[in-house]
């Protein structure tokens, strides 16, 4: 007698997924961030900064959008204002595109004294959020800035899209805390 075992459910199990990590420029994982899939499904990252959307429909189109709106003053201090002032005056330039993006508190596409005004209002508790900006921004980790000294020269990707998804995709992002150019923000807060 011969016994044949078949797994007829295997055809229903999808091997199509999107996973990724949210981390700061220095590599610290970002927790308590919301990662949204196609504008509706979402999950919150834990202390490891990882996320996974699995069992997705093969051949589908998907967009991943991370966000974190809490604790606008996390890591934002007068020392950041000093560093930004030194940059504006040309004394000590901010040395990475991510620091420049963090310094652009009003999201104007440049770093100016108007950003310092916005940061100062947050530091003093006079305003609960940045004007025209979110508390954190997330940039595709694989994106290479054409001119790292001017990351605003062209739009940088703050979401990732996958068309005709057919396997396992990775969507990693660099997290930038608005107003925090010295990296003192707690990414798990």
pLDDT tops 60 at residue 73: yes
* pLDDT for position 10: 45
> Residue 2: pLDDT band by 50, 70, 90 thresholds?
low
pLDDT tops 80 at residue 104: yes
pLDDT tops 50 at residue 24: yes
Q: Whose CA is closest to 87, among 123, 59, 111?
A: 111
DSSP state of 11: G
> Average pLDDT in the 88-106 region?
97
* pLDDT for position 1: 54
* Region at 176 (left for phi over 0; alpha for psi -120 to 50; beta for the rest): beta
Report the chain's C-alpha Rg in angstroms. 20
pTM listed for this prediction? 0.90
Q: What is the pLDDT of residues 130-185, one digit of tens each?
A: 989 999 999 999 999 999 999 999 999 999 999 999 999 999 999 999 999 999 99
> Residue 13: pLDDT band by 50, 70, 90 thresholds?
very low
Q: What is the pLDDT of residues 107-124, one digit of tens each?
A: 999 999 999 999 999 999
Residue 142 has a CB neighbour count (10 Å cut-off) of 12
């Amino acid at each position: 007698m011969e016994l044949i075992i078949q797994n007829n459910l295997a055809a229903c199990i999808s091997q199509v997924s999107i996973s990724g990590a949210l981390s700061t420029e220095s590599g610290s994982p970002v927790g308590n961030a919301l990662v949204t899939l196609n504008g509706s499904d979402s999950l919150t990252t834990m202390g490891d900064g990882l996320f996974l959307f699995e069992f997705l429909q093969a051949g589908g189109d998907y967009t991943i959008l991370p966000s974190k709106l809490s604790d606008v003053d996390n890591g934002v201090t007068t020392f950041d204002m000093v560093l930004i002032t030194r940059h504006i005056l040309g004394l000590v330039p901010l040395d990475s595109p991510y620091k420049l993006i963090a310094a652009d508190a009003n999201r104007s596409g440049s770093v100016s004294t108007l950003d310092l005004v916005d940061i100062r209002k947050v530091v003093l508790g006079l305003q609960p959020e940045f004007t025209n900006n979110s508390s954190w921004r997330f940039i595709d980790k694989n994106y290479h800035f054409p001119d790292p000294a001017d990351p605003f020269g062209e739009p940088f990707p703050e979401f990732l899209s996958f068309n005709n998804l057919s396997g396992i995709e990775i969507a990693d992002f660099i997290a930038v805390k608005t107003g925090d150019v010295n990296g003192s923000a707690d990414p798990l807060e």
